[in-house]
Structure 1
Amino acid sequence: MHFDGPVRPRLALSRITLNSEIANFVASREAEDSVNALGRALAVGWKRYFLLQTLIAGVFALLLAGAVVGWMRLSRRRTVVVLLASLLCVEAVNVGAVMIGARTAQDRLREVDSLAALVGRTPLPGVPPAAEPELGAVDALVLGVSVATGAGLPAVAEPTAQARACGRSADAFAAKLAAVNRWRVVNLACGGATITAGVAGSQQLGDVVVPPQLAVAKKSERAQVVIVSIGANDVGWSSLLRLCAVTPSCDNNASTAYFQQQLAEFSLNYEQLLLRLRALPVHPQILINLYFDPFGGSQDCLAEHGLTPAMQKSLLALLHSLNEVLRRGAEAAGATPVRPDFTGHGLCDPQPYVQDVNAAAPFHPTAAGQLAIALADQQALQHELTVPPTTR
């Protein structure tokens, strides 16, 4: 935020914790008290800033004046007079600058109605046009990460270089939705994708450059449904799993701070992604797939791999935070959040919907898990719209 005047404090978002305290603060019935408390906190921070700035200016003034006095070889009395005069002049100018900044800041801060307005945000890169040909008649599009590609499952028939690099499978939930509804569904998801590298920006996979999924999606002028599965790679979920497997405890300040930092950045990118999805041609119905519980009720089977029940509980708490961001963002943007039901089919259950730790894609859905995701999406769509098939 730009402030007029020679002294301009820089407001930066250095850390934010998504927890119940912030929710209670925002939802407080005593809204006026909350605003006053936030104002007092900001005023204290600025006072400290101006005090420190004043002290630094005084120290440099004395140093410079002392150097000049030493070079001129003045008497002790004249030295004291020059030093005091220099200090007073510099501090007078500094205090005046502070007052100007404080006066203009009041008017600027009255315009603030959001955290982004106060500290700004890093915009997503522009989506370049895709070089691929038009998609033609398409009923639905799937965007996102390896959960949506069907990682670890049999590949699609006659895969293109991009489909092979992204790991797209014939058992992905996109294929199951296409079969049951007789739709044409184009699966643009890609393993390892994030919002900035994969969905809104291009993705480098070895020698293959995968164009931005959004850019390809824009070429469809008839798709009435867009299903998005995103977030795990943005917050470093795989890294947290590996960290828990090799350390005595992953419920510590370091891992939590890392996750919260990644989640805060993802939240801003996710908000901009939702705005771009709403601007797609024909304004399709948007489904945001939430993440499932990969562990299930019985959690003892993973202890030999370094994931104790306590660690799994910590990981599920982080996953719940990600799902909350996905859900609230979807609802605020008019999209539909969808939570697949894996109850009784976790990794340690008799009939898991999740691939084993030693599988090609650990913790990713099996073919049955992909079917469960398709069923959840299908149920959500039945409440929203009926898409006439373009192919029979």
Structure 2
Amino acid sequence: MRVSGSAGKWLRRARRVLVAAVALAVLSGVSIWLAVQLTPMQSVSAAGQTVSVGAVQPGRSMSGPGELELFGEAITTRPHFEGPIRPLLKLTHISLGSQVGDTGALLPDLSRQLTSGWVRYCLWESLIAAGCAAVIAVAVAGVRRATRRAMLAMVAAAVVSVCAVNAVGIYLLASGTPRVLRQIHSLDDLVGRTPAQPVPPAKGPALKDVNAVVLGDSTAAGIGNPLVEHPTDADRTCGRSADSFAADLASANGWNVLNLACQGATVTDGVLGVQTRGDDVVPPQLAVAQRATSASTVIVSIGANDMNWSALTALCAKSPVCDDKASTAYFTERLAAFTQNYLDLLQQLAALPHHPQVLINEYYDPFGPDTKCLEKEGLTPEKVQVLDSRLADINDVLESGARTLHFTSVRPDFSGHTLCTEQPFVQDSTGKAPLHPTAGGELAIALADQQALTTLQRATPTP
């Protein structure tokens, strides 16, 4: 059966229109995908806290949670959003003003600011998508050696197409996002948690002769080394050592350093809350620290117990591999929880009325490049690489949090003195506290803190 001339022309025209429509649809999809990659996050501020608003990478599901990026860690939000493009919120800055004492609560206009930031982000994404479409159209026209008029027509068609698709997509797939954002009044609303209440000062007279305070865990206590002279019951319970970096700093500077660190302490059970060890109850470290009203420095060493690091290391040594799905998921979950508790701690430190300078100690690398001596403990080079990676993740959170609050982070360097060297700064499996610093390791931490304090003093203008 032969097709008439007019019908053939109609079919050829329809085919060209269909091909053009498919090409424009593909171009629009590519342009929008590129725009999501390229569009800068939009900053909004409330109560001295700055949050950047952007979008997570589009997924296959048509609804789901967004993400809150806190100190480099992605935390799934409790609110769900409609559409494949959902908001990404990143805490980037906290001012050391009176509002930070609110432990996470922001001013009521946070919801309005987040909504405004999302709208701005969508507008920028639309403009960038149009620009991407125009660039692609010009490139295609150049390859096809199209005339100037044809090129302009292709660019116009591409820009109109991507704008239409983007507008319809945002309306149909992301129009409910502002409504959800308007219901968010604090960062804690995003992750569905109750912020820690401010820790009240402990009862007792002010400790006016204290120059510096140390808060934290067994690394700061100096566990495994000789106890302090004339130890109290709390000193024995917490394992506070005469060779701790707190004692080294006191000796070097002629300071009275109040070491409140305790073995087993976490942010919630030890620093901000009561810690129970057997029959002994240790009061919140921050509560006692507030009695040191003249202390110019607070040094914090925390995070390992929050992450259950010793158990993870032991499990790694006994397991065939360390990066299996179960242990990786456990580590990720613990890191997300620690990140949120760490924010509570940082905000309460920032709210201390006498405004001390705050040092956040990161963790040393106990393993080093030579790991042959560890193989008898079940730690192969591959396993050590996994542990090093996880330790780096913890340190990244500690460093990012300190930077966000304008505190100083300090990373001690045990290079040349790791476990398999002749003079290790780390206790091995035969020590009283494996993987904890020796007296030499505590001194190395003290030297790193001393250098940071010296740098801060030089940077501070003299009245």
Query: Which TM class, normalised by the smaller chain length?
Result: 0.7 to 0.9
8 A contact 1:125–1:201 mirrored in 2: no
Percent of aligned pairs sharing the same letter? 53
Q: Measure how far apart 1:127 and its partner are.
A: 2.1
Indicate the residue corresponding to 1:80 in structure 2. Answer: none
- The 1:37–1:303 alpha-carbon spacing in structure 2 relative to 1, beyond 3 Å, is closer
Note if 1:121 corresponds to 2:193: yes
Indicate the residue corresponding to 2:39 in structure 1. Answer: 30
| Separation in structure 1 between the aligned mates of residue 399 and residue 406 of structure 2, nearest angstrom | 11
Indicate the residue corresponding to 1:385 in structure 2. Answer: 457
Q: Alpha-carbon deviations, 1:24-83, whole Å to 9, x = none?
A: x9x9542379946668878534569xxxxxxxxxxxxxxxxxxxxxxxxxxxxxxxxxxx
Structure 2 counterparts to residues 183-332 of structure 1, below 5 A: 183-332=255-404
Amino acid paired to 1:327? E
Note if 1:146 corresponds to 2:155: no
- The 1:285–1:183 alpha-carbon spacing in structure 2 relative to 1, beyond 3 Å, is same
Match of 1:44 among 42, 47, 63: 63
Note if 1:170 corresponds to 2:230: no
2:269 partner SS: coil
Q: Measure how far apart 1:220 and its partner are.
A: 1.2
| Separation in structure 1 between the aligned mates of residue 302 and residue 427 of structure 2, nearest angstrom | 19
Indicate the residue corresponding to 2:408 in structure 1. Answer: 336
| Separation in structure 2 between the aligned mates of residue 37 and residue 227 of structure 1, nearest angstrom | 36
| Separation in structure 1 between the aligned mates of residue 63 and residue 276 of structure 2, nearest angstrom | 47
Q: Measure how far apart 1:353 and its partner are.
A: 0.4
| Separation in structure 1 between the aligned mates of residue 198 and residue 186 of structure 2, nearest angstrom | 23
User: Superposition RMSD on alpha carbons, in Å?
Assistant: 2.7
Q: Measure how far apart 1:294 and its partner are.
A: 0.4
8 A contact 1:125–1:196 mirrored in 2: no
- The 1:211–1:304 alpha-carbon spacing in structure 2 relative to 1, beyond 3 Å, is same
Q: Measure how far apart 1:110 and its partner are.
A: 5.3
Amino acid paired to 1:147? T
| Separation in structure 1 between the aligned mates of residue 341 and residue 303 of structure 2, nearest angstrom | 10
| Separation in structure 2 between the aligned mates of residue 141 and residue 47 of structure 1, nearest angstrom | 48
| Separation in structure 2 between the aligned mates of residue 122 and residue 359 of structure 1, nearest angstrom | 40
1:385 partner SS: helix
8 A contact 1:121–1:268 mirrored in 2: no
Per residue, is there more strand in 1 or in 2? 2
- The 1:252–1:39 alpha-carbon spacing in structure 2 relative to 1, beyond 3 Å, is closer
Q: Measure how far apart 1:242 and its partner are.
A: 1.1
**Which deviates further from its counterpart, 128-137 or 305-314?**
128-137
Amino acid paired to 1:335? F
Q: Measure how far apart 1:120 and its partner are.
A: 3.5
8 A contact 1:149–1:172 mirrored in 2: yes
8 A contact 1:297–1:344 mirrored in 2: no
Q: Measure how far apart 1:136 and its partner are.
A: 2.8
Indicate the residue corresponding to 1:354 in structure 2. Answer: 426
Amino acid paired to 1:250? C
How many residues are aligned here?
Answer: 308
1:337 partner SS: strand
Give me the TM-score of the superposition, normalised by structure 1.
0.73
Match of 2:206 among 131, 134, 143: 134
Structure 2 unpaired stretches of 5+? 1-33, 43-52, 65-80, 84-173, 459-463
Structure 1 unpaired stretches of 5+? 1-24, 49-101, 387-392
- The 1:40–1:115 alpha-carbon spacing in structure 2 relative to 1, beyond 3 Å, is farther
